[in-house]
Each structure stands twice: as structure tokens, then as C-alpha cells.
Amino acid sequence: MKKLSVAVAICAALATSYANAEVRINGFASIVGGKSLEDDRGRYGYDDDISFKNESVFALQISADLQEKLSATAQIVARGNNDFDAEFEWAYLTYEFNDELQLSAGKMRVPFYRYSDFIDVGYAYRWVRPPESVYSIPFSTYEGLSLLYNSQLGDWDSTVQVIYGSFDGEIEAITYKDKAELNDIVGINWTLSYDWFSARAAYLVADTSIALGQNDPNDLTGAQINALENVLRQSGLTAQADDLAINEDNGTFIGIGFSIDYNNVLFDAEYTQFEVENSFLAKQTQYYASVGYRMDDVIVHFTYEDNDDKHESSRFNQIQAIPPLNTALNSALDGSKSQSNVYTIGTRYDFHPSAAFKIDLSRYENDLTNTDTDVIAFGVDLVF
């Protein structure tokens, strides 16, 4: 309640300053329900009981034109999976040097993906949720600077963004409550578009540290990895312990993608790689391809996702002289692997100028356990 009261107070303060600045308040919401169709397996936060809380979102965005090329933006988001506690996800100032160049400072979205800037705005895309295999990095904001340059390259529209900043907070990397600290985040993304075609590339690096937490008494993943690291250090195997820990290691993200909106045919594809060198985390490689067809107010679509997280085979069998530790290390590295595919069919119906109804049926296939999980999700996305 305290977070919500603070948010309301700031909104009121901005509203009372209307005489000195042009203030706009916009909002968006997603009311989403879903369930797993399996009795013993879930996905996307759903089990076999229907829930309208897990993926529902309500948000307000406040923009103030402070004159003289200066503006302020804040976004307050309340998520169902966080008991609808309102929190500031964006809060930044922007100065426009001219029509092409602008500098922003504050808390902003990390430009990992094509839909990063409006990942919470379900109305902006055709799925109930963006393809999770790609959109899976467990944090989405940073605090720092963003330099944006818009220009024309012949007939092409060009947008280049350069960012610098940091992130400090809890994420779900290995356990539910891992403490992450990313310093010196440096990134660039470039988008080119012409008529019905758009292409994008992104590259980001950061000094990455993650301290593993502990989920609950029944899931000791974090505690087991920490214990293995301590045993390695006590055995004088400092290099192997450092290879297991995530402490100021070099993290790298690469993403490319393109989209087509030609007549009534829609196509989107993105490919990403994420790696923290010399760490417990497996190298993550994933992509999706999605095709859709527009029929007046209705879009039907099919999406395929692929995820493959694994370590290089050369990292195994590093401690031949101590078989029990070698087995434990191999088990820890092998346990971080993931290999899965997702097939989604869905429909979007724009039944109102500011609202859309969606329904998706997704089959998640875990190639390591040879299990399938079907999840159905449906909801209404709106903007106001």
C-alpha cells in the first residue's frame, strides 16, 4: 500500500503542476486468464487451476513537457504476480538537442529485444505474451544514460541507440531470489526500416555478478552450488571455483531480428545469444519465428520457439585427480542445461479501437525430460 500511495501522490503532484508543464497521462492494462491442461505440470506460472492473476497488468505512464526541449517520463506498473503492488518501472528525463538527437537519464528499459520498450503493453503485439524462449532475460530495466539518434539513410529510416548504466536487484537466474549486480552496462542497437520491412541488431556487455539465493527447503539448488564452490576453494581448486562462481564476469548479449508487414501477411523473427563467461550459467541460444495473417479486425498466427542452453563440452572433466569433485562439478554444469521447443497458435480480435481480445494455445516440449505441457491463455489488452 505504501508504494501505491507514493505513486498516487506523485501523480497528484504532476497534475497540480499543469500550469508550468504540459502533462499527459496514458495507461494500459492486460486482464489475462490461463491454465495448464496437464494435471501434474505447469508453465508460464500456471497450474491446472485457472488463474486471472499471473499475467495481468495495470499501468500508468506520465509524461511532462517541461519546455525548452526538456521532458520527464515515469511509468507505474502493477503486476498480478506481484499482488498488484504499484512500482515505478521507468523514471527518466529527456533532453532533445534537435529533431534527430536526444539524451535520456534515469531508470529505463534495456533495449534487448524488438518489443523491449513496450513489452508490458500487450496491445502492441499479437500474442498473449511475447515468445518467452527469447524474451527470457530475468531483468528489463537499468539506471543510466541513453543516447538516441534518428536519421535517414537514403529511403531507410535509421534509429541508433547507445546506452550506459547499471542494474542492482533480485532476479530469477538459478533460484527465485538471486542477487544480481551488473556494472558498466554498455550497449548499442540499430534499427533500419523501409515501408513494410524492418531489421534490428543489438549488442550489450556488462560486468556481471550473481549471488545465488535459496528457493525453499524443498529446493536447495542455490545452496548446493554454493557448497560445491566452497569445497572447490577449500581443496585448492581456485580456478575451478572461479569458473563456477559468477563474480565480475563478462556478460554478453547479442540479438538480431526482422519483421515484415506486407499487405495482410505478418512475419517476425528474432535470434539471441546470452553468455556469462567462465560461470555456472550455460550459454543461452534461442530464436523464434512467427507468421500471421490479418483479416480486417482479426489476426491468426502461428509461432515456433527454440531454446538451447548448454556448456561447451571442454568445460567437463576438469578435476580428473579428484573423481567425487569432478562428478559433482559435471553434475552442476550439466544440470544448468535446457533444451526446449514451443508451438503456439492464436488469434487476436480488435473488437474496439482501444482494446483487443486474444487467445493462445501453447505446447511446451522439454527435450531433456521428454515431457509436453499444454497451456491455454486468453485475455483483453487495452490502452487508454
* pLDDT at residue 17 greater than cutoff 60: no
Instruction: Kindly indicate the confidence band of residue 119, based on its pLDDT and cuts at 50, 70 and 90.
Output: very high
Looking at the chain, how many residues does it have?
Answer: 384
| Sign of the alpha-carbon torsion through 306, 46, 381, 62 | negative
Tens of pLDDT, residues 29-81? 999 999 999 999 999 999 999 999 999 999 999 999 999 999 999 999 999 99
Domain ranges of the chain: 2-383
| The pLDDT of residue 15 | 52
Torsion of Cα atoms, 104 then 166 then 208 then 86, to 10° = -100
Closest CA to 304 of 364, 344, 258: 344
CA 79 to chain centre: 15
Which residue is associated with the grid cell 482479426? 298
* pLDDT at residue 175 greater than cutoff 50: yes
| The pLDDT of residue 242 | 83
| Higher-pLDDT residue of 234, 359 | 359
Q: Tell me the average pLDDT of the chain.
A: 90
Count of H-run helices and E-run strands, the chain: 4, 16
Closest CA to 92 of 114, 64, 119: 64
Tens of pLDDT, residues 297-321? 999 999 999 999 988 777 767 777 6
* pLDDT at residue 334 greater than cutoff 80: no
Q: Report whether 34 contacts 51 (CB < 8 A).
A: yes
* pLDDT at residue 123 greater than cutoff 60: yes
| The pLDDT of residue 215 | 55
* pLDDT at residue 218 greater than cutoff 60: no
* CA angle (100, 104, 108) in 5-degree steps: 125
| The pLDDT of residue 337 | 83
Among 74-78, 219-223, 227-231, 295-299, the range scoring the smallest mean pLDDT is 219-223
Closest CA to 118 of 106, 130, 107: 130
Tens of pLDDT, residues 230-252? 888 888 888 888 878 889 999 99
Around 363, how many Cα atoms within 13 Å sit in the side-chain half-sphere? 9
CA 348 to chain centre: 22
Closest CA to 307 of 332, 281, 272, 258: 272
Instruction: Kindly indicate the confidence band of residue 10, based on its pLDDT and cuts at 50, 70 and 90.
Output: very low
Instruction: Kindly indicate the confidence band of residue 7, based on its pLDDT and cuts at 50, 70 and 90.
Output: very low
Q: Which residues contact 217 (CB under 8 A, 6 or more apart)?
A: none
In Å, what is the CA distance from 4 to each residue of 11, 86, 88, 211, 384? 11, 5, 10, 30, 20
Instruction: Kindly indicate the confidence band of residue 289, based on its pLDDT and cuts at 50, 70 and 90.
Output: very high
| The pLDDT of residue 199 | 98
pTM over 0.85: yes
Integer Cα distance of 31 and 358 in angstroms: 10
Tens of pLDDT, residues 129-162? 999 999 999 999 999 999 999 999 999 999 999 9
Among 147-161, 171-185, 252-266, the range scoring the smallest mean pLDDT is 171-185
| The pLDDT of residue 323 | 75
**C-alpha cell, 376:** 491455454
Integer Cα distance of 181 and 168 in angstroms: 5
Torsion of Cα atoms, 133 then 137 then 139 then 140, to 10° = -70
* pLDDT at residue 363 greater than cutoff 50: yes
| The pLDDT of residue 292 | 98
Would you state the CATH architecture of domain 2-383? Beta Barrel (2.40)
| The pLDDT of residue 1 | 40
